[in-house]
Amino acid sequence: MKVKRFTAPTMAEALKQVKGTLGPDAVILETTEAAGQVTVTAAVDLEPPAATPGADPADGALVSEVRELMGIVRDLIDEQWRRQAPAGGQGIRRLHRALVAQGVDGVIAAALLRETAERLERGTRVDTALAGTLGTAPAAPASSVRLFFGPPGDGKTTTIAKLAAQARRAGRRVCLVGADTYRIGAAAELERYGQALGAEVRRAKDPVELGNALRDHGHADLVLVDTAGAGPAQQAELAELKALVEAAGAAAGRTLVMSAATGALAAANTFRAFAALAPDACIVTKADTAPGGAVVAQLWRERVPVSHVAAGRRIPDDLEAATPSRLARCVLAA
């Protein structure tokens, strides 16, 4: 087995190094980001296992785990070749290459490959089979009140404006509530959107004011709450967001907003950070800048439905429903 670390300024460049050195069958073991550099640890099985005297048992366990993942991939491809040669095996190979190219976590990639392979029947396209796999996630629940949260800069306010514009186009009354007290100009930006869309805008600087706004919102059909961005390491801000979610009540929807450019490690850390807020839906933004396969795969693993995909800043046009086929395109885009 050959295990190597690759360091580059961006995830795309690091993954290009992985493919160039280890080939398309490499498995991503770990990704880390520090000091403006991305480090990817990847492996490829080049020889049969052999015992090494004095080797660390932990290293042996890791090698066994990696070989197991690789074995799953090989078995799936071989099985599809036997059953449907050559279309099935080629489809699984295509999916595997796309997962590697986007740096999807090895365990999640193996699970996606396994479930998609089970859906491949003679003549079935891999994108159709993958859509069926991704479509097993539960649907996002409908709610007349919905809070939006996520990392800074991932497009929460613009996304809310798009949703409000679509609702107004459908004849619904909309109320926008600004609970972002950190970002300079956040309140003014929401006010401008409200004026342009003919939507009521209210401000809530704390959980008490949010509760008041939600009880007295002018009989709006839809209330969208914008919150301050928070990263996984910002515990104080995350605690404030949790207090806002609790003030909104259990009936309010909770949408995590995450950029498609988020790598596998960052996606896992982000979901872990916001898990306490119990998101019941996610919107993947900035799909015009990156495919978003790592984010989609992470959310599939967590059983959190993706409700929309945003690919641009145009309001309301650059926001579409996240159908299973659209999510499959995110994964296969690499």
Answer whether 308's CB lies under 8 Å from 283's CB. Answer: yes
Q: Which helix (H) or strand (E) holds 193?
A: helix 186-197
Tokens coding 55: 């080797």
Q: Decide: residue 114, CB within 10 A, 0-12 exposed, 13-18 middle, 19+ buried.
A: middle
Tokens coding 215: 């009880």
Reply yes or no on whether the pLDDT at 78 is more than 60.
no
**Tens digit of each residue's pLDDT (9 = 90 or more) over 299-309:** 999 999 999 99
Q: Which pLDDT belongs to residue 70?
A: 55
Instruction: Please tell me the distance from the alpha carbon of residue 76 to that of residue 95, in angstroms, as a whole number.
Output: 11
Q: Which pLDDT belongs to residue 67?
A: 56
Q: Which pLDDT belongs to residue 81?
A: 46
Tokens coding 197: 């869309």
pLDDT band at 167 (very low <50, low <70, confident <90, very high): very high
Q: Which pLDDT belongs to residue 245?
A: 93
- Greater model confidence, 270 or 217: 270
Question: Taking the domains of the chain in order of start, what are their residue ranges?
Answer: 2-46+60-134, 145-332
Tokens coding 192: 């401008």
Least confident of 61-75, 143-157, 187-201: 61-75
Closest CA to 329 of 281, 283, 280, 296: 296
**Tens digit of each residue's pLDDT (9 = 90 or more) over 234-291:** 999 999 999 999 999 999 999 999 999 998 888 999 999 999 999 999 999 999 988 9
Answer whether 296's CB lies under 8 Å from 155's CB. Answer: no
Q: Which pLDDT belongs to residue 68?
A: 58
- Greater model confidence, 77 or 174: 174
Closest CA to 207 of 256, 241, 160: 241
pLDDT band at 1 (very low <50, low <70, confident <90, very high): low
Given the structure tokens 């919150």, which residue do they identify?
A: 227
Strands 174-179 and 37-44: unpaired
CA within 13 Å, CB half, 241 = 31
- Domain 145-332: assigned CATH number: 3.40.50.300
Reply yes or no on whether the pLDDT at 108 is more than 60.
yes
| Backbone φ and ψ of 205, nearest 5° | -90, -5
Closest CA to 154 of 135, 180, 191, 174: 180
Tokens coding 135: 């479509």
Answer whether 158's CB lies under 8 Å from 312's CB. Answer: no
Dihedral sign (CA 297, 302, 303, 304): negative
